[in-house]
Amino acid sequence: MTLAPFILSFEGGFVNDKADKGGATNKGVTIAIWKKQGYDKDGDGDIDVDDLKLISDEDAVNVILQPHYWNRWKADKIKSQSVANILVDWVWGSGKWGIIYPQQLLGVVADGIVGPKTLAALNARDPHAFFNLLKNRREQHFHSIVKKDPTQKKFLKGWLRRLNSINYGYLKDNRGRIIKFKEQ
């Protein structure tokens, strides 16, 4: 999955910024998601921040990203790798909104569930044009978050930097390295 190194490059290690609505996070995995996964990494009988601090890159990708985000978008069935990348990164960062807003753009029922109708509508679109539409809508989403809650403004520059590192035909990781992949 070409998206995993990109995501990990932006996520970094453990942080617990009080302004971050996701709470304690490691490698982009929030404590709530880790608890939901039910993986007692340190084997002490509970699932808490201590477990979250221990997760590896492999845990973040294989235990969380692949099954709960990539597969949630059924990304292996998306014809355009660029479109799959921006959609999965969006649901990774914004939860259900990363499905609902694209469904609205597609004109299908915006229920937050990717099914055959969503995939058919998505794969019927011109991938480059739809990628650009998604990118613009995601940027609007970030600005609406800040407008609703100005305490989130401190994250806006980073969100936009990451979004602008997702390009049609390639990704640019947090260190500026280009990640190429095959496009349809």
Residue 184 has pLDDT above 80, yes or no: no
The pLDDT, as a whole number, for residue 69 is: 96
**79-103: buried (b, 16+ CB within 10 Å) or exposed (e) per residue?**
ebbbbbbbbbbbbbbbbebbbbbbb
Sequence-separated (6 or more) residues with CB below 8 Å from residue 18 = none
Distances (CA, A) of 164 to 35, 36, 108: 31, 31, 27
Predicted confidence (pLDDT) per residue in 107-159, tens digit: 999 999 999 999 999 999 999 999 999 999 999 999 999 999 999 999 999 99
Among 15-19, 100-104, 117-121, the minimum mean pLDDT is found in: 15-19
What mean pLDDT do residues 168-175 have? 96
The pLDDT, as a whole number, for residue 23 is: 85
Predicted confidence (pLDDT) per residue in 44-77, tens digit: 999 999 999 999 999 999 999 999 999 999 999 9
* All domains in the chain, ordered by first residue: 1-70 (no CATH), 77-173 (1.20.141.10)
The pLDDT, as a whole number, for residue 92 is: 95
Predicted confidence (pLDDT) per residue in 71-100, tens digit: 999 999 999 999 999 999 999 999 999 999
Decide: pTM greater than 0.75.
yes
